Amino acid sequence: MIEKFPAYWLLLGAVIQPLLPKEGRRWSFLLWPIMALATVFLTPNGDWVTGTLLGHDLVIVRIDALSRVFGIVFAITGIIGGIYALHIRDTSQQCAALLYAGGALGVTFAGDLLSLFVFWELMAAASVWLIYSRRTKESGAAANRYILMHLFGGSLLMAGILLRGNMAVEAIPQHSAGLAEWLMLLGVALNTALPPLHAWLPDSYPRATVTGAVFLSAFTTKSAVYVLARMYPSWEILIAWGVFMALYGVVYAVLANDVRGILAYHIISQVGYMVCGVGIGTDLAINGVAAHAFCHVLYKGLLFMGMGVVIKTTGIQELHRLGGFWRRQKLAVFLFMIGAFSISGFPLFNGFVSKSAIIASAFDEHLNAVGLLLLLASVGTFLHTGLKIPYFVWFGPDRGIKPDKAPTNMYVAMGIGAFLCTLIGVAPGLLYAYLPNEMSWGPYTLHHLGETIQLLTLTFVAFWLLRPKLAGQALLPVDTDWVYRKPLARLGSGLVTAVNVLFATCARSSRRFAIDAQRFLANPVAFWRGMDHKTYDNDEDRPTIAVSAFLALVLVGILALWIAG
């Protein structure tokens, strides 16, 4: 039955990949996600890999409609990301990407919490290497912070699993939740980049390798969304958290200067829609969550690939240093704009047919304020990703940049992503057929089209008027990471200094004690008298009879008191 485990092929590939001839590794890197995708499509619903451990039933592979739709897009991302990285010769990155994708598929199809936790931690361990692999001082520091945060989240998740005892991955009613369920929720929420536990994402993704960032944008946050949809539907607290995320991400994108940093903040915003949809919890909302996660993986990967081409060919990723070379990268601009239109919710692109389902579910449940705030967040998305990035990266003031030629495979991968974004936007039924609930709602209504066109038009006018204010600045925006960049850094430095002083004091005291012990053992009498004799002299240092008599009297007195007592 192991061949019905989609993650099996990716994990197997990570083991075999280093053993293959160098020229064969590039193409075999594509074989493993293709096999995984075929497995996802061909394996029917049900429990396929089961077992027991310490009296607990394990369901390592459970396939149903919800897990299948997430599994399909994760496997597709593995293929597109593999094509995008065909020019890479770093086997360690290939293996890390396969393990990372395998971990995401393992989480998606896990039917018990223990299996889910194992794959959850595998994702953290594998993904951090995609940040380390850039091999800069900044990427190394970001990777350290990244893994510490994810180990903390994993610890919360494991604590909740141990307290809960029940290993089933199943929906949990909010009214029956205890400490265990809340601990698991916090552990999962950290991977969604829920503020204030989110700073790891805009800190690390811009510092990852060009190809690694494509994989990072797909798996961690969306696998966490899947777990929320599986275990925490209709938890009302997620509605407020989701709306806050949707707005928080677009606000902080104003301050970001790193092109991938802007995209990273918009991951937080877009995942906010999904978290909010999980909180609403209706059939339409959960369909919207699954559809938007699917579409988000595609267009966000396309956007990261577009910025990857810029970084690969210019060596620059700061917005204020780019501009004026669109004629040299017309294809990259064209394909990037498809991703930009998709994330902004343009009609005929996939974001229009997925994001709107979540907003519609909010209005259906009479959560009018929630729906309006999510529409407001859409304005910010188009403003920054659809307009600010392409304008200032390619169309802004000419700074004399002459980019190198990008590898052809990078454009091929972008083309596949752009095609899928457009195909789903034009024919949403292709995606709706795989959603977990029956889908009777449709996005192409006159009301929805009119509303969208008005919002996009007003946003474009606002951008054109505010262009000078939106240009990037050579600043590092301080988010909640201020806590560990400032006070905690100083506290850590102080603690290190205090520990160093303590150890130095202990070392000096130990050395002094050793010297004194040696002197005492060499000549106790001389040591007692404060003399510097090196060895004992029988004639000079021997105690008088009076000392012996005094000690004898003291001993007799102590014995007498003890007997009398």
Task: Return the pLDDT at 108.
Answer: 96
Based on the fold, state whether residues 245 and 173 are members of the same structural domain. no
Based on the fold, state whether residues 141 and 260 are members of the same structural domain. no
On whether residue 505 sits in a domain, the answer given is no
Residue where a domain stops, chosen among 203, 231, 259: 231
Residue where a domain stops, chosen among 179, 211, 231: 231
Task: Return the pLDDT at 53.
Answer: 74
Dist. CA 565–CA 563, nearest whole Å:
5
3-state secondary structure at position 495: helix
Based on the fold, state whether residues 153 and 177 are members of the same structural domain. yes
Q: State the angle between helix axes of 350-364 and 259-280 in degrees (0 to 180), rounded to the nearest 10.
A: 40
Residues in the chain, overall count: 565
Task: Return the pLDDT at 512.
Answer: 81
255 vs 109, 181, 259, 378, 399, CA distance in Å?
38, 36, 11, 18, 22
Q: pLDDT tens, 435-467?
A: 999 988 889 988 889 888 988 998 899 888 877
Please count the structural domains in the chain. 2
Residues 6+ apart with CB under 8 A from 146: 127, 128, 131, 200, 203, 204
Dist. CA 197–CA 480, nearest whole Å:
8
Task: Return the pLDDT at 448.
Answer: 84
As to burial, measured by CB atoms within 10 angstroms (0-12 exposed, 13-18 middle, 19+ buried), residue 451 is middle
Task: Return the pLDDT at 270.
Answer: 94
Based on the fold, state whether residues 51 and 66 are members of the same structural domain. yes
Dist. CA 490–CA 496, nearest whole Å:
10
Based on the fold, state whether residues 238 and 196 are members of the same structural domain. no
Task: Return the pLDDT at 15.
Answer: 93
Dist. CA 115–CA 125, nearest whole Å:
16
Token pair in block for residue 110: 């896990």
Task: Return the pLDDT at 256.
Answer: 86
Task: Return the pLDDT at 391.
Answer: 92
Based on the fold, state whether residues 244 and 219 are members of the same structural domain. no
On whether residue 286 sits in a domain, the answer given is yes
Token pair in block for residue 249: 């991400």
As to burial, measured by CB atoms within 10 angstroms (0-12 exposed, 13-18 middle, 19+ buried), residue 58 is middle
Q: Which helix (H) or strand (E) holds 100?
A: helix 91-109
Task: Return the pLDDT at 205.
Answer: 94
Q: Which helix (H) or strand (E) holds 43?
A: none
Based on the fold, state whether residues 161 and 272 are members of the same structural domain. no
Based on the fold, state whether residues 211 and 280 are members of the same structural domain. no
On whether residue 555 sits in a domain, the answer given is no
Residues of the chain with pLDDT under 50: none
Residue where a domain stops, chosen among 186, 212, 231: 231
Computed on alpha carbons and rounded to an integer, the radius of gyration of the chain in Å comes to 31
Q: For residue 335, what are the domain limits?
A: 233-477
Contact of 472 with 323, CB cutoff 8 Å: no
Task: Return the pLDDT at 490.
Answer: 66
pTM of the model: 0.84
Dist. CA 385–CA 341, nearest whole Å:
9
